[in-house]
């Protein structure tokens, strides 16, 4: 049980365990389990990928897609939620250009695209020749949700996690298009949450519990006055998940194509750069060495990820090196060095975000400190924050 | 005719729901209370929770979640009973009648036990006399060994050398109310149910038999109800990851004229 009193207790919490194969910590924000050999479920499930009969999977996908293809061409065949990132390109490449479906692309625009991210997004409808729906909630509401998310759960980007996984479902209902094609199951990819035999699909519970952390629009509506914010029900339509009855009426179903097509981000990244003109970030990020991820939200790689470090003691450099170790692109030693250099950085994204929401850095730090997980952090002799490190093993 | 039941069976490890495979691989699925709340919305017949923690350590792992942590099995059961209004069966680590008392007092309607019943058969009688036979569900976990279904205890690690069918007959005389027939070999494999053992178990006892292990699709449920007299089917993993899996399964079963609620 977590007990806030340990924040100032001289005794340290139980030691963090790290995966023997990659660098994933037991304090992982996403569900991750260690087996008796000390190897994490993320590594184990990623190892299953080579044993999957991908030819068979592709046939299954073809059969599934055929069931949803519009009979008379009077409607879209499916919906692909896209951010304009390399994964969006890959999904659209598979669904439109390999499987011959006619998708409707749907984008939740959280108002903070990097210039490169926006170029990539606009480029999609050109290179794929598809219809694209582009949706931006009110900026005033987005700013409010940024502040409230930070105060309620130490995450300014709740609106984005929730929006990305709500808007496409609302569109599916409104356009009467039951099939939604997601890319990879994020928690299965990093944490090994499911087996490849599960053919896991999108569910409300996964969205509610894991992507939205158990919070819904009505929690924000209810909490607004206590944070000095004003929100009305009508401001929050974007984040309202449809009822079970509505979902059943259209038969909405979301599949992850990582169950049907081998998913290897490094390979896809290179392919979509070459074939479709996808651009990497011109500017390097401070907290990760990869330049082709999370271009859709300029605060995602810096400040949102910094909060993960504040809470759980690790950041995106850890996630990215884990993936690269599993893909055989990096040794564990190289990963440790990258994590040592990157995971703790307070990046300049923070100042951009402070301007966006009108906060001071002092206020941010105060709020951030209340979210330090006592399973990870304790206070040293001089009152400084201390945690276990990968390189101290 | 008796209504046949469809029961989600959930496994808890250190305070979180896990996906189980072969009783040995466990991947974390999420929060026990959230899961129960969703099953409540789906109006399920009943829920079976089995705590498979090796150490008495309970932790929901994240503090930035709306649902906060637990520190004991009591807190977990209470949390579930608050959001869930169907019969609840709780199991795992039950060795003495006091363990049963704790679970019933905090909101469980029935208990389920495997090792405890094998090592201390008097416990089964004690539960039956204190709470009634219907309160005591025996988890008959078995693996196929040289073509025979053998009873295993200690989370599938110890072969008792007892044929599971003989064990089921004994459980009935000891006062058990129900048999949870769990095929360890099929756990998390999605390779279909073990029809032969289910049928033989149903012949061996007058107690209701709940068949578990091997579900991949709704067709598997239909087949068990059509080809065996099992009074209930339980499944773990598959309910976790397809939307409306439970209500959809119920609809399909009704369409096949199977007598479900
Ligand atoms: Zn690992």
User: What are the DSSP calls for B179-227, one per residue?
Assistant: EEEEEGGGTTT-S---HHHHHHHHHH-SS-EEEES---SHHHHHHHHHH
Q: What is the pLDDT of residues A134-149, one digit of tens each?
A: 999 999 999 999 999 9
Calpha distance B138→B117 (Å, rounded): 7
CB A389 within 8 A of CB A17: no
Q: What is the pLDDT of residues A103-130, one digit of tens each?
A: 999 999 999 999 999 999 999 999 999 9
- CA angle A369–A386–A344, rounded 5-degree value: 70
For residue B67, what pLDDT is reported?
81
Calpha distance B70→B76 (Å, rounded): 6
For residue B132, what pLDDT is reported?
98
Does the pLDDT at position A8 exceed 90? no
For residue A266, what pLDDT is reported?
85
Q: What is the pLDDT of residues B232-250, one digit of tens each?
A: 999 999 899 999 999 999 9
Chain B CA closest to residue A155: B64
Does the pLDDT at position A294 exceed 70? yes
Per-residue pLDDT band for A2 (boundaries 50, 70, 90) equals: very low
Does the pLDDT at position A325 exceed 50? yes
Which of helix, strand or coil describes residue B54? coil
Chain A contacts in chain B segment 137-176 (CB below 8 A): none
Which of helix, strand or coil describes residue B11? strand
Calpha distance A219→A222 (Å, rounded): 5
Q: What is the pLDDT of residues B159-207, one digit of tens each?
A: 999 999 999 999 999 999 999 999 999 999 999 999 999 999 999 999 9
ipTM higher than 0.85? yes
Nearest-Cα distance to chain A for B108, in Å, is 22
**What single string gives the DSSP state of each residue in B83-99?**
H--S-EEEESS--SHHH
Tell whether B28 is within 8 A of chain A (Cβ). yes
Calpha distance B253→B261 (Å, rounded): 10
Q: Which among A192, A214, A311 has CB closest to B34?
A: A214
Q: What is the DSSP letter of A270?
A: H
Nearest-Cα distance to chain B for A159, in Å, is 15
**What single string gives the DSSP state of each residue in A327-384?**
TTSS-HHHHHHHHHHHTT---THHHHHHHHHT--HHHHHHHHHTT--TTTEEE-TTS-
Residues on chain A touching B34 (C-beta within 8 angstroms): 205, 208-209, 214
For residue B109, what pLDDT is reported?
97
Does the pLDDT at position A3 exceed 60? no
Does the pLDDT at position A153 exceed 80? yes
Does the pLDDT at position B1 exceed 70? no
- Tell me whether residues B19 and A198 touch, CB distance under 8 A: yes
- Tell me whether residues A213 and B66 touch, CB distance under 8 A: yes
Lowest mean pLDDT among A176-185, A316-325, B56-65: B56-65
Q: Which residues pair with B210 in a beta bridge?
A: B180, B232
Per-residue pLDDT band for B125 (boundaries 50, 70, 90) equals: very high
CB B198 within 8 A of CB B224: yes
Q: Is the pTM higher than 0.80? A: yes
Calpha distance A207→A266 (Å, rounded): 26
Closest CA to A210 of A12, A31, A358, A7: A31
Q: Which among A197, A210, A374 has CB closest to B30?
A: A210
How do the residues of chain B divide into helix, strand and coil, expressed in percent and rounded to 5?
A: 40, 30, 35
Ligand 1 geometric centre to CA of A44 (Å): 7
Q: What mean pLDDT value characterizes chain A?
A: 94
Nearest-Cα distance to chain B for A254, in Å, is 9
Lowest mean pLDDT among A325-339, B58-72, B187-201, B239-253: B58-72
Chain A CA closest to residue B28: A31
- CA angle B222–B164–B77, rounded 5-degree value: 70
Does the pLDDT at position B213 exceed 50? yes
Closest CA to B228 of B252, B184, B192: B192
User: What percentage of chain B has pLDDT greater than the value 70?
Assistant: 100
CB B204 within 8 A of CB B161: no
Per-residue pLDDT band for A1 (boundaries 50, 70, 90) equals: very low
What spatial distance separates the first Cα and last Cα of chain B, rounded to whole Å? 12
Tell whether A84 is within 8 A of chain B (Cβ). no
Q: Which among A44, A153, A244 has CB closest to B64?
A: A153
Calpha distance B224→A72 (Å, rounded): 39
For residue B61, what pLDDT is reported?
77
Q: What is the pLDDT of residues B72-89, one digit of tens each?
A: 889 999 999 999 999 999
Q: What mean pLDDT value characterizes chain B?
A: 95
Torsions phi, psi of A76, nearest 5? -70, 155
Residues on chain B touching A246 (C-beta within 8 angstroms): none
Contacts of A264 (CB under 8 A, 6+ apart): A327
């Amino acid at each position: 049980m977590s007990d806030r009193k340990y924040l100032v207790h001289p005794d340290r919490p139980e030691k963090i365990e790290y995966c023997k194969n990659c660098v994933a910590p037991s304090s992982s924000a996403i569900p991750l389990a260690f087996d008796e050999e000390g190897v994490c479920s993320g590594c184990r499930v990623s190892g299953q990928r080579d044993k999957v009969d991908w030819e068979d999977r592709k046939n299954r996908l073809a059969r599934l897609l055929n069931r949803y293809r519009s009979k008379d061409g009077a409607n879209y065949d499916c919906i692909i939620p896209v951010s304009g990132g390399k994964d969006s390109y890959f999904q659209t490449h598979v669904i439109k250009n390999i499987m011959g479906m006619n998708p409707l692309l749907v984008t939740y625009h959280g108002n903070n695209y990097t210039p490169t991210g926006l170029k990539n997004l606009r480029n999609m409808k050109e290179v794929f020749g598809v219809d694209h729906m582009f949706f931006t909630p009110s900026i005033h509401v987005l700013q409010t949700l940024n502040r409230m998310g930070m105060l309620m759960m130490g995450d300014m980007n709740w609106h984005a996690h929730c929006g990305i996984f709500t808007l496409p479902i609302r569109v599916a209902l409104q356009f009467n298009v039951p099939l939604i094609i997601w890319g990879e199951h994020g928690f299965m990819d990093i944490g090994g949450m499911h087996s490849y035999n599960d053919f896991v699909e999108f569910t409300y519970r996964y969205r509610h519990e894991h992507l939205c952390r158990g919070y819904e629009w009505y929690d924000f509506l209810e909490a607004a006055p206590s944070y000095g914010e004003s929100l009305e029900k009508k401001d929050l339509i974007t984040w309202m998940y449809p009822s079970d009855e509505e979902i059943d009426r259209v038969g909405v179903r979301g599949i992850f194509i990582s169950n049907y097509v081998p998913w290897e981000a490094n390979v896809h990244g290179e392919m979509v750069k070459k074939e479709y003109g996808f651009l990497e970030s011109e500017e390097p990020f401070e907290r990760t060495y990869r330049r082709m991820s999370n271009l859709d939200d300029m605060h995602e790689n810096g400040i949102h990820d910094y909060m993960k470090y504040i809470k759980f003691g690790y950041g995106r450099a850890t996630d990215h090196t884990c993936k690269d170790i599993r893909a055989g692109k990096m040794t564990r030693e190289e990963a440790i060095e990258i994590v040592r250099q990157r995971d703790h950085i307070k990046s300049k994204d923070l100042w951009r975000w402070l301007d966006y929401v009108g906060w001071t850095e002092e206020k941010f730090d105060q709020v951030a400190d209340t979210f330090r997980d006592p399973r990870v952090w304790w206070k040293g002799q001089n009152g400084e924050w201390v945690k276990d490190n990968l390189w101290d093993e | 005719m008796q209504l046949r039941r469809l029961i989600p069976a959930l496994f808890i490890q250190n305070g979180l729901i896990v996906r189980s495979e072969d009783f040995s691989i466990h991947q974390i699925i999420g929060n026990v209370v959230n899961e129960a709340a969703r099953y409540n919305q789906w109006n399920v017949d009943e829920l079976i929770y089995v705590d498979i923690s090796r150490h008495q350590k309970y932790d929901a792992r994240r503090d930035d979640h709306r649902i906060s942590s637990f520190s004991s099995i009591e807190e977990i059961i209470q949390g579930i009973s608050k959001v869930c209004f169907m019969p609840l069966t709780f199991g795992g680590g039950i060795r003495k009648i006091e363990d049963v008392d704790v679970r019933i007092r905090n909101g469980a309607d029935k208990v389920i036990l495997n090792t405890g019943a094998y090592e201390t058969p008097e416990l089964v009688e004690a539960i039956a006399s204190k709470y009634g036979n219907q309160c005591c569900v025996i988890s008959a976990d078995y693996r196929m060994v040289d073509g025979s279904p053998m009873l295993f205890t200690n989370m599938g690690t110890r072969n008792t050398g007892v044929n599971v069918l003989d064990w089921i007959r004994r459980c009935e005389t000891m006062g058990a109310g129900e048999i949870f027939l769990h095929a360890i070999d099929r756990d998390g494999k999605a390779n279909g149910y073990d029809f032969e053992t289910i049928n033989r178990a149903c012949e061996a006892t007058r107690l209701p038999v709940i068949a578990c292990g091997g579900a991949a699709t709704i067709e598997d449920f239909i087949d068990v109800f059509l080809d065996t007299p099992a009074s209930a089917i339980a499944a773990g993993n598959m309910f976790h990851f397809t939307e409306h899996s439970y209500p959809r399964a119920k609809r399909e079963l009704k369409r096949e004229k199977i007598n479900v609620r």
